[in-house]
């Protein structure tokens, strides 16, 4: 073990959640160090933004940069039946401000995440790449920083009043403390790749997201990116995808293409230009979102099935919200878990509202079209929730769902690990 560094806050992971936390803390004047195992630019999945990602991006100073970027502009989302019949695209500007939230982006994460890192550095954050956090340090019942391993293989300690776990689905705190809780109903498999030269719809529809159904409530995503690339993935139950003993990701992906005529038609002119990626088991939440001296943000807090592209919105929003709570905790000289009750309530409400939509999406007894038909107020609620305006009371919407399906109870996870004591920072 080598030297010891001291900062106000150490953030583990420089993905969107880590960068949002670090940038917002630097904007508060805090000394922040971010440690990231990879070197940017690095590949990552999760490429479609939803409208209400806007406030967090605005808060950390990213909007102008995104406006200057080459990323595809996303104005809408549409759903396509297996026969290839497309719904009328839902244009966000029919409900939201055209100059702000109603236009969002399809990003290439290698470029987007690098922009977030550079933005954090501009705001005064120190980001160390090629640096793995190998241990979260605890003393006297609270977290006091991390043990890091630099690119030279030498370990050193970073001491901080607050440690932030932004390690994504690796979720270092939840994994090492056995706080990880799965959601068996949402245990899907995704296989995806990238096409060059695939069909792009004209005009304003060029950058829209398409969700295209296949049998058994499986679906394709079709996300047109810049540089003539399209991200295409298929998501379904593992049993369905591997039927007849098929195991090879490419063979599985190619077998599903004819199951949706719109996808078949749009991919016909293109060619695969990347490898086939696969992931499974992907919905989980941490039992706790905070402990004394520790906060979890983004996927490290919880990961929800990506059908409604909520991941980046939740990652960025949780980062900014955690930063505000951390700043207040440091001002008060109290970094106990109790300081993160409102953070937990806000994030749990966001995730639970989205989760209820995801459950309904996969339930064969309910369709959003049937629930909203002739009920404009329910349609508006649904639009708000799908667009990421999630910190609202949606009891009217979920009461309408319950006419067709069982709406899941909120999970009891994601609270701070509370105790009577209130600890002093530093
Ligand atoms: C198939 C699929 C499709 C998706 N589609 C979408 C979509 O269309 N839209 C959307 O919004 N979201 C989507 N998501 C979700 C999205 O990818 C995530 O929600 C988002 O990346 C979360 O950001 P994060 O910062 O929490 O984590 P990450 O982006 O995963 O960042 C975590 C960082 O921590 C680093 N790290 C991990 N461990 C350590 C360590 N020990 N030491 C140092 N560094 C470490 C990693 O290298 C990484 O850079 C999708 C996810 C999947 C699986």
- Domains present along the chain, CATH in parentheses: 4-71+107-183+284-350 (3.50.50.60), 188-279 (3.30.9.100)
Contact 67, 200 (CB under 8 A): no
pLDDT score recorded for residue 91: 94
**Which positions of the chain have pLDDT values less than 50?**
421-426
Report which of 385, 359, 388 is spatially closest to residue 372, judged by C-alpha positions. Answer: 385
Between the CA of residue 104 and those of 48, 147, 271, 301, what are the distances in Å?
A: 9, 38, 27, 25
pLDDT score recorded for residue 183: 87
Distance CA 192, CA 235 (A): 9
pLDDT score recorded for residue 114: 98
Q: What residues are paired with 189 via a beta bridge?
A: 236
29 Cβ neighbours under 8 A, 6+ residues apart: none
Nearest-CA residue for atom 5 of ligand 1? 46
Contact 311, 303 (CB under 8 A): yes
State whether the beta carbon of 207 lies less than 6 angstroms from ligand 1: no
State whether the beta carbon of 173 lies less than 6 angstroms from ligand 1: no
pLDDT score recorded for residue 1: 59
E strand or H helix at 231? strand 229-236
Number of Cβ atoms within 10 Å of the Cβ of 67: 11
Distance in Å, CA 325 to ligand 1 centroid: 22
pLDDT score recorded for residue 422: 46
Report which of 143, 140, 133, 159 is spatially closest to residue 288, judged by C-alpha positions. Answer: 143
Cα torsion at 195, 119, 317, 412 (round to 10°)? 90
Distance in Å, CA 168 to ligand 1 centroid: 5
State whether the beta carbon of 18 lies less than 6 angstroms from ligand 1: yes
State whether the beta carbon of 171 lies less than 6 angstroms from ligand 1: no
Q: Which atom of ligand 1 is nearest to the CA of 309?
A: 9
State whether the beta carbon of 44 lies less than 6 angstroms from ligand 1: yes
Global pTM value:
0.96
If one residue of 306, 320, 386 were mutated to test the ligand 1 pocket, choosing by the most ligand atoms within 8 A of its CB, it would be 306
pLDDT score recorded for residue 16: 98
Report which of 272, 269, 266 is spatially closest to residue 253, judged by C-alpha positions. Answer: 272
């Amino acid at each position: 073990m080598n030297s010891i560094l001291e900062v106000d806050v150490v953030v583990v992971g420089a993905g969107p959640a880590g960068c949002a936390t670090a940038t917002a803390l630097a904007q508060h004047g805090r000394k922040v160090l971010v440690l990231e195992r990879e070197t940017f630019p690095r590949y990552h999945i999760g490429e479609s933004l939803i409208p209400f990602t806007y406030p967090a991006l605005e808060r950390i100073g990213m909007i102008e940069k995104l406006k200057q970027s080459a990323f595809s502009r996303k104005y809408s989302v549409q759903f396509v039946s297996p026969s290839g019949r497309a719904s009328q695209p839902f244009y966000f500007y029919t409900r939201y401000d055209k100059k702000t939230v109603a236009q969002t982006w399809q990003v290439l994460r290698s470029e987007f995440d690098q922009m977030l890192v550079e933005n954090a550095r501009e705001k005064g954050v120190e980001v160390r790449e090629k640096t793995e956090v190998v241990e979260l340090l605890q003393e006297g019942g609270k977290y006091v920083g991390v043990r890091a391993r630099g690119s030279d293989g030498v370990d050193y300690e970073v001491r901080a009043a607050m440690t932030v776990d932004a390690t994504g689905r690796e979720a270092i705190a939840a994994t090492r403390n056995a706080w990880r809780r799965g959601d068996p109903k949402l245990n899907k498999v995704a296989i995806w790749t990238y096409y060059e030269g695939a069909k792009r719809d004209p005009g304003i529809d060029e950058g829209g997201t398409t969700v295209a159904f296949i049998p058994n409530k499986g679906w394709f995503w079709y996300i047109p990116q810049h540089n003539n690339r399209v991200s295409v993935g298929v998501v379904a139950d593992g049993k369905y995808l591997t039927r007849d003993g098929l195991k090879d990701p490419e063979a599985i992906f190619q077998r599903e293409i004819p199951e949706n005529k719109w996808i078949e038609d749009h991919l016909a002119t293109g060619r695969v230009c990347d490898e086939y990626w696969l992931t499974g088991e992907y919905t989980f939440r941490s039992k706790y979102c905070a402990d004394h001296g520790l906060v979890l943000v983004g996927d490290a807090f919880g990961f929800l099935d990506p059908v409604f592209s909520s991941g980046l919105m939740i990652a960025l929003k949780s980062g900014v919200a955690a930063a505000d709570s951390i700043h207040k905790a440091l001002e008060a000289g109290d970094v106990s878990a109790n300081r993160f009750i409102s953070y937990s309530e806000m994030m749990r409400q966001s995730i639970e509202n989205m989760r209820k939509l995801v459950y309904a999406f996969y339930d064969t007894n309910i369709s959003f079209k049937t629930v909203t038909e002739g009920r404009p107020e329910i349609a508006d609620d649904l639009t708000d929730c799908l667009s990421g305006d999630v910190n609202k009371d949606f009891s009217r919407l979920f009461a309408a769902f319950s006419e067709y399906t069982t709406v899941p109870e909120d999970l009891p996870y994601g609270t701070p690990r509370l105790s009577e004591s209130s600890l002093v920072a530093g």
